[in-house]
Copies of this chain bind each other. A is one copy, B any other.
Amino acid sequence: EGPIYDTVALIGLGLIGSSIAWAARRAGLARRIVGHARSAATRETAARLGFCDEVFAAPAECVRDADLVILCVPVGAMEATARAIAPALKPGAVVSDVGSVKAAVIEAVAPHLPEEVHFIPAHPLAGTEHSGPEAGFAELFDNRWCILTPLPGSDRGQVARLRRLWEGCGANVDEMDPAHHDLVLAVTSHAPHLIAYTMVGVADHLRRVTDSEVIKYSAAGFRDFTRIAASDPTMWRDVFLNNKEATLEILGRFTEELFVLQRAIRMGDGDLLFDYFTRTRAIRRGIIEAGQDTAAPDFGRVKP
């Protein structure tokens, strides 16, 4: 259908920034893609891989001609980034982001942007445990959801245009209220990540006791947790600090429930356990039917 934006500026060129560049190029969604990264190392890698037409050392330089600016930095860096680019933004430009938390990012970014730009927050629900400019690939967003959380009074035409960009990148797009987004993500992403980090931390302590047995015998379930718990520490620190209440609320429910199951184990209440484990199976079926995971045993994982 031809380019949706003339110039797209990506601020932050890690997994998500570089994947947007590859996906936008694959579908010809922008006439020109420019990028900025904080470190010279990342800028050099980006230039070498060639997913941007031009890479800038200064964020303000990078956004000067952009019709769409996407902030692809950790949630805790959004405010400083918004401040840095604000004076250079073109009137009428769209500013968006990919942060895993929405209410806190809106609070951090919106006050710094000039009146004449359109701020439309977004969050693509796609990622891997890898990070950095070499981790990106064009297919990352295919058949994944991207959630837009437009502000009251957002220009509907610009929202529709951003939606077309994400659809062009392969995603399905939904709209949601920011607070609701943060609650849903606390359940589907933030609490599971914290729990995985915790379980791996427990095993790490025990590893010092049991030598390397925890690693050696990890294939019996534990290794799945380690993939999630290998995700970028900066990104996840920022997620938890910026989605505190919803995450703590879900973790509270989790602990309550865990105590019920622990007690059933202690008391030998096999019926409670059996019923519980039967109900949770239905959710897996739902996810496979919704096309959000593969039905292949063990994710179709290849043996190393």
Interface residues, chain A, CB within 8 Å of chain B?
Answer: 76, 100, 125-130, 135, 139, 142-145, 147, 183-185, 187-207, 210, 212-231, 233-234, 236-238, 240-241, 244, 247-248, 250-251, 253-255, 257-258, 261-262, 265-266, 268, 270, 273-274, 276-288, 290-304
Cβ of B286 and Cβ of A212 under 8 Å apart? Answer: yes
- List residues of chain B with CB within 8 A of the CB of A233: 273-274, 277-278, 281
CA distance A293 to B248 in the complex (A): 31
Distance in angstroms from A292 CB to nearest chain B CB is 5
A299:B297 contact, CB within 8 angstroms: no
Is A210's CB under 8 angstroms from B192's CB?
Answer: no
Secondary structure at the A interface, as helix, strand, loop or mixed, is: helix
Q: Is the CB of B202 within 8 A of A125?
A: no
User: Which of B139, B204, B288, B299 makes the CB contact (< 8 A) with A299?
Assistant: B299
B219 and A303 form a contact (CB under 8 A): no
Closest to A217 in B: B188
A301 CB to nearest B CB, Å:
4
Q: Is the CB of A204 within 8 A of B279?
A: yes
Q: Can you spell out 12 A-B residue pairs with CB atoms less than 8 angstroms apart?
A: A187-B203, A189-B217, A194-B261, A204-B283, A215-B286, A215-B292, A216-B292, A227-B284, A236-B273, A241-B268, A251-B262, A299-B301
Supposing A200-B280, A215-B283, A277-B237 touch, asked if A222 and B145 sit within 8 A by C-beta, the answer is no
Interfacial chain B residues near A298, Cβ < 8 Å: 128-129, 227
A132 to B247, alpha carbons, bound, how many Å?
38
- Complex CA–CA separation, A19 to B232 (angstroms): 38
Which one of A199, A210, A214 has the highest number of Cβ atoms from chain B below 10 Å of its Cβ? A199
**Minimum C-beta distance from A127 to chain B (A):** 7
A6 CB to nearest chain B CB (Å)? 31
- Inside 8 A of A230's CB, which chain B residues have their CB? 280-281, 284-285
On whether the beta carbons of A287 and B223 are closer than 8 Å, the reply is: yes
Q: Which of A127, A237, A268, A278 has most chain B Cβ within 10 Å? A: A237
Q: A207-B283, A229-B280 are in contact. Are A220 and B185 (CB under 8 A)?
A: yes
> Which residues of B are found within 8 Å of A291, using beta-carbon distances?
304
Residue of B145, B207, B304 near A217 (CB, 8 A) is: B145
Query: Complex Cα distance A292/B25, Å?
Result: 36
A218 touches B297 (CB 8 A): no
A296 CB contacts on chain B under 8 angstroms: 302
Q: Knowing that A145-B219, A223-B293 touch, tell me 14 more A-B residue pairs with CB under 8 angstroms.
A: A126-B219, A142-B303, A185-B217, A185-B220, A187-B203, A187-B222, A191-B202, A192-B221, A193-B221, A200-B283, A201-B276, A205-B253, A226-B284, A294-B304
